[in-house]
Structure 1
Amino acid sequence: MPRFDVTSYGATGDGSTIDSPAINRAIDAAAAAGGGTVHFPAGTFASHSVRLRSNVTLHLDRGATLLAAAQRDGIGFDDPGSGAGNPYQDFGHSHWRASLIWGEGLENIGIVGPGRIDGAALVRDMRPDSPPGTGDKAIALKLCRNVLLRDVTIVRGGHLSILPTGVDHLTVHNVLIDTIRDGINVDCCRNVRISDCTVNTHGDDAIVLKSSYALGFARATENVTIANCMVSGYDTGTLVDGTFARNDPAAADRDGPTGRIKLGTESAGGFRNIAISNVIFDRCRGLALETVDGGALEDVVISNIVMRDVTSAPLFLRLGARLRGPAGRGAGRLRRISISDVTVHGADPRYPSMIVGLPGARIEDVRISNVRIHSRGGLSPREAAEQPPGLINVFFAEPGAREPYAVPERADAYPEPSMFGILPAWAFYVRHATGVRLDNVDARFEEPDTRPAIVLDDVRDPDLHRVQLSEVDGVPSVVLRGGTAVTSETGVAKTFHLPS
């Protein structure tokens, strides 16, 4: 394909001159020629909005940086446009043009490295009343096909470093991101491959799949693979500088560093056919599978996961009824989930792995196998009774004052492992579910924890096979409240049944 060097169209790469007019001239020339590669040589190209065209690939050479520049003389990033035209998702998910690089309705496009995209002037939280010229995304794509993002580094990516919405046939390969909020945010997309990426996002999710109403209708995110990646919650900027700092203890929501892989929160269209494998989580929250807006989350396979220094639940499966979308929708479905070969070390003892549905909307058919979880432990029922103001709920009070396993439903709440406060189990808490199987699960604590290891609350047909748990004398390992009897083969030393 022909090559169009941005310097031939007037770009200077001096880090000060606004080069976006020259860059866009080079892109237009490539499109007029039927397609080509727009080349950035070494240099720093200060820029406002870069407008992609079909059949054009941006190539940032080694030493090249595309730098999001502050407004100058009243000129800045493109106007966000009319956007989604509905209130069913955050404003950042409702527009695309107020970005460093954007495209709508395109095909056969690419952004490749090994250069860098630096969103220095992008804001982390844009609102409808933000000043004209404000930008909040590094790369935003809407209703595009055949997209390749490869070999680039993105730093300070604003609210969303990569936001594809309604994009089909998307490949994201060997991309490194170190940013303040979301890294890769895939919304209403089909046939997506994310591989060999490293994403550090202390304050938000690293790789997240969504299915919002941003297109004006519900559309599933489906046929997605995420493989051979690392996600983390190191202090912002310390992945790219190689220091991997851990000094900032909490994200903006007051929970621990985020940096995880998540399905949800926006989930009107649902999720189907998702495979996640060979991923490292370090100093971040665990894996979250959430459907709370009426969509179905089903047919998900997750394997070969390593987590270290986990700041919330290692596994969080939530079926809720926030129902952010047109009126009349009911709770969705969460079913046919397989999670295997997971090793977790240093899990926060406040939040066990959770599988939590609703009355009348049960999570179904979850298989968790070959899992080792090492919790820091050290808690007891007393800690929940003494939670400081600001935590959501108290489960344990003085003996006899309150039934200790009565966890509130919070059906319409924003889903997050901390939404229930400290739970009455330290390894697994399962509620309103059918057909949950734990097979070859080994859960241990570093310091004794006097809560039960597993609480099953209104769970039908649970199956515990080869489950090994740390024990404390006088404390039941497994508590069953309501539901049906546990099918168990070996490994569960003490089971205590509560009446329905």
Structure 2
Amino acid sequence: MTKHLLPSLFLLIISLCGSSLYAQSYLITDFGAKEDPKLNNAVFIQKTIDKAAIKGGTVVVPAGTFITGSIHLKSNVTLQLNKNAILKGIASKEAYPSFPILHPLHTTSGQSGHALIYASQARNISITGEGTIDGNGEDPIFDTKSNPNTMRPYGLLIDGCTNVTISGIYMQNSAMWMQRYLNCNFLRITGIKVFNHANINNDGLDIDDCQNVIISDCIIDADDDALCFKSEGDHGVRNAVITNCILATHASAFKFGTGSTTGFEDIQFSNSVIRQSLATNMKHPFKQKSGLTGIDIASSDGAVIRNINISNISIDSLENPIFIKLGNRLRRTSITPEGKIGSIDGIRFSQISIKNGGRSPATITGFPENYISNISFRDIFIEHNGGGVAKDTVLTVPENADQYPGTRMFKRTLPATGFYVRHVKGITFDRVHFTLKAADPRPAFVFDDIEALQMNGLKIEGMSPKAAIMIKDSKDAVFNLSGGDAGMIRQINAKAVVIK
């Protein structure tokens, strides 16, 4: 390398690294913070943040437990929690002021802006380290039994921020959702652990109207939804990658909705495990210890959902493994066009393993004249526990299109064991292996009001192949069955059904 290139190369390295090469560290104890169970350290931590924000820097929380109320994270500041450091929320409602939230839904619904850690319209912020954020949400002052409308602060509330990194830390015991990110761009969450079972409505991680999102290598165990994407503003969720995670819940593990006004597009979910929660206590009203739903995708308020790829997922011990619902609740916000009807188009599942499921099958349902379209399943392995009875085979399933979307909007038992599919155009099953572990008279598959169905390479074990598939009020279906056993299929008012 010639000598005249060295200065230019050095300047390039400096520009790529940015000002972080010179960023100074600030210890909160140097600004007055102390390990005192009766002391609210918020003012001292805030002084440290304000100092670091002048030129950009790192606020360091050393080993120890520091009680605090709300703190406001600012641009170009990293909050670093060292090993054995704990930021613990104080048991005082006055310590959590209502912060202004600029997300559109906040101005129309009056949702709370209270949080232990808050940031708004900030750039280049990080929360990192090996320490713990503890919301202290089990304290009686946050108890909803005596006051259902009591103020409950989030653990993290990040609104309208750009270049956000959350990494390495452990989070627990929020009074509300553990984390809520609204209208953020370039959001990276990696290597965190969340255990949130201190109060009702204890979500683990909520992403609302954010774009360019990476979530990886996280372990999230929550009483309510573990990882939940919402679209309640005018941006929607776009360009998101979720990979190498372990999710556990008493509600839904991986979820789109229920707030769903704009949409969810271009999302990849891969290489992850969905399992039963390790928590022994349950706050969730449905008291479903194993969890309600593994993968939960709903458009109920006009959202457009499209181009979603879900691959290499293991789902163990959830009551309902997969729930996809196009509904018509149409909860209005300031940005919801009147009369808007949502859509679900282009969801691809591959390499999905489902075992120890409850009596509910995977469900994919639109509503009359509003069809889900272009759904595919490839290399799906299902072990179903069975347990249905004869009367379950003739159940009438209500539409309930205007209700809260979730597996309990229908009856807990549906007239199928593997898949219940209704009001869908364009659905493909390639190489599905279905095993029934205990007696159950219901068909493995029920198709109702389906157009353009194709099934290839179906393998069924543990049940009689006779009438393993029921298709009714449908048309244009092709079944490529091994041996061409037409007895596997029961047809009721089905047209243009080809069995090979």
Cα 1:145–1:83, aligned 2, differ >3 Å: closer, same or farther?
Answer: closer
What is the Cα-based RMSD across aligned positions, in Å? 2.3
Partner of 1:239: none
Partner of 1:42: 63
CA distance in 2, matches of 1:80, 1:475: 62
Do the aligned partners of 1:13 and 1:46 also contact (CA within 8 Å) in 2?
A: yes
CA distance in 1, matches of 2:428, 2:192: 36
CA distance in 2, matches of 1:329, 1:145: 33
CA distance in 1, matches of 2:106, 2:25: 42
1:130-169 matched pairs, under 5 angstroms: 134-169=151-186
* TM superposition score normalised by structure 2: 0.84
Cα 1:6–1:84, aligned 2, differ >3 Å: closer, same or farther?
Answer: same
Which of 180, 183, 188 is matched with 1:171 structurally?
188
Which of 206, 210, 213 is matched with 1:192 structurally?
213
CA distance in 2, matches of 1:45, 1:318: 44
The one-character-per-residue Cα deviations of 1:266-301 (angstroms, maximum 9, x if unpaired) are: 110110000000110111331111111101000000
**Deviating 4+ runs (over 3 angstroms):** 80-91, 121-131, 470-475
Q: Aligned partner of 1:111: which letter? A: I
Partner of 2:264: 271
Task: Quote how far apart the aligned CAs of 1:135 are.
Answer: 4.0
CA distance in 2, matches of 1:172, 1:90: 28
Cα 1:437–1:339, aligned 2, differ >3 Å: closer, same or farther?
Answer: same
Cα 1:127–1:410, aligned 2, differ >3 Å: closer, same or farther?
Answer: farther
Partner of 1:13: 35
CA distance in 1, matches of 2:311, 2:144: 34
Do the aligned partners of 1:124 and 1:136 also contact (CA within 8 Å) in 2?
A: no
Q: Report the 3-state secondary structure (helix = DSSP H, G, I; strand = E; otherwise coil) of the residue aligned with 1:300.
A: strand
Cα 1:342–1:90, aligned 2, differ >3 Å: closer, same or farther?
Answer: farther
CA distance in 1, matches of 2:86, 2:246: 24
Task: Quote how far apart the aligned CAs of 1:485 are.
Answer: 4.0
CA distance in 2, matches of 1:191, 1:289: 20
1:200-279 matched pairs, under 5 angstroms: 200-201=221-222, 203-213=223-233, 218-233=234-249, 257-258=250-251, 260-279=253-272
Do the aligned partners of 1:169 and 1:192 also contact (CA within 8 Å) in 2?
A: yes
**Counting helix residues as a fraction of each chain, which structure ranks higher?**
2
Task: Quote how far apart the aligned CAs of 1:418 are.
Answer: 2.3
Which of 360, 364, 379 is matched with 2:388 structurally?
379
Cα 1:53–1:125, aligned 2, differ >3 Å: closer, same or farther?
Answer: farther
Partner of 2:281: none
Task: Quote how far apart the aligned CAs of 1:331 are.
Answer: 2.0
Larger Rg: 2
Cα 1:331–1:486, aligned 2, differ >3 Å: closer, same or farther?
Answer: same
CA distance in 2, matches of 1:367, 1:414: 25
Which of 98, 106, 114 is matched with 1:79 structurally?
98
Do the aligned partners of 2:432 and 2:458 also contact (CA within 8 Å) in 1?
A: yes
Which of 48, 70, 77 is matched with 1:56 structurally?
77
Partner of 1:307: 315
Q: Aligned partner of 1:352: which letter? A: P
CA distance in 1, matches of 2:453, 2:100: 50
The one-character-per-residue Cα deviations of 1:411-457 (angstroms, maximum 9, x if unpaired) are: 10111112211111111011000110011001111102101111100
The one-character-per-residue Cα deviations of 1:358-405 (angstroms, maximum 9, x if unpaired) are: 1121010001010101010021232x4xxxxxxxxxxx6xxxxxxx36
Partner of 1:248: none
Cα 1:27–1:80, aligned 2, differ >3 Å: closer, same or farther?
Answer: closer
Task: Quote how far apart the aligned CAs of 1:18 are.
Answer: 1.0
Which of 103, 107, 113 is matched with 2:129 structurally?
113
Q: Report the 3-state secondary structure (helix = DSSP H, G, I; strand = E; otherwise coil) of the residue aligned with 2:431.
A: strand
Cα 1:127–1:83, aligned 2, differ >3 Å: closer, same or farther?
Answer: farther
1:358-373 matched pairs, under 5 angstroms: 358-373=367-382
Which of 285, 296, 315 is matched with 1:288 structurally?
296
Task: Quote how far apart the aligned CAs of 1:347 are.
Answer: 0.7
Q: Aligned partner of 2:321: which letter? A: P
Q: Report the 3-state secondary structure (helix = DSSP H, G, I; strand = E; otherwise coil) of the residue aligned with 2:474.
A: coil
Partner of 2:403: 413
Do the aligned partners of 1:308 and 1:346 also contact (CA within 8 Å) in 2?
A: yes
Do the aligned partners of 1:11 and 1:19 also contact (CA within 8 Å) in 2?
A: yes
- Percent of matched pairs sharing the same residue: 28
Partner of 1:251: none
Which of 103, 111, 129 is matched with 2:119 structurally?
103
CA distance in 1, matches of 2:169, 2:146: 28
CA distance in 1, matches of 2:377, 2:47: 54
Do the aligned partners of 1:126 and 1:135 also contact (CA within 8 Å) in 2?
A: no
Q: Report the 3-state secondary structure (helix = DSSP H, G, I; strand = E; otherwise coil) of the residue aligned with 1:377.
A: coil
CA distance in 2, matches of 1:376, 1:121: 36
Do the aligned partners of 1:88 and 1:212 also contact (CA within 8 Å) in 2?
A: no
Q: Aligned partner of 1:49: which letter? A: S
Task: Quote how far apart the aligned CAs of 1:486 are.
Answer: 2.3
Partner of 1:458: 449
Do the aligned partners of 1:126 and 1:136 also contact (CA within 8 Å) in 2?
A: no
Partner of 1:321: 328
The one-character-per-residue Cα deviations of 1:155-196 (angstroms, maximum 9, x if unpaired) are: 102221110000000000001000031011000000000000
Cα 1:11–1:413, aligned 2, differ >3 Å: closer, same or farther?
Answer: same
CA distance in 2, matches of 1:348, 1:7: 52
1:354 aligns with 2:363: yes
Task: Quote how far apart the aligned CAs of 1:353 are.
Answer: 0.6
Do the aligned partners of 1:297 and 1:335 also contact (CA within 8 Å) in 2?
A: yes
Task: Quote how far apart the aligned CAs of 1:129 are.
Answer: 9.2
Q: Report the 3-state secondary structure (helix = DSSP H, G, I; strand = E; otherwise coil) of the residue aligned with 1:22.
A: helix
Do the aligned partners of 1:199 and 1:232 also contact (CA within 8 Å) in 2?
A: yes
The one-character-per-residue Cα deviations of 1:178-228 (angstroms, maximum 9, x if unpaired) are: 003101100000000000000001x21111111014xxxx22111001100
Stretches of structure 1 that go unaligned for 5 or more consecutive residues are 234-256, 385-395, 397-403
CA distance in 1, matches of 2:270, 2:103: 33
1:332 aligns with 2:377: no
Q: Report the 3-state secondary structure (helix = DSSP H, G, I; strand = E; otherwise coil) of the residue aligned with 2:136.
A: coil
The one-character-per-residue Cα deviations of 1:108-149 (angstroms, maximum 9, x if unpaired) are: 001112000000047486999956xx4420000111000000
1:3 aligns with 2:19: no
CA distance in 2, matches of 1:179, 1:168: 25
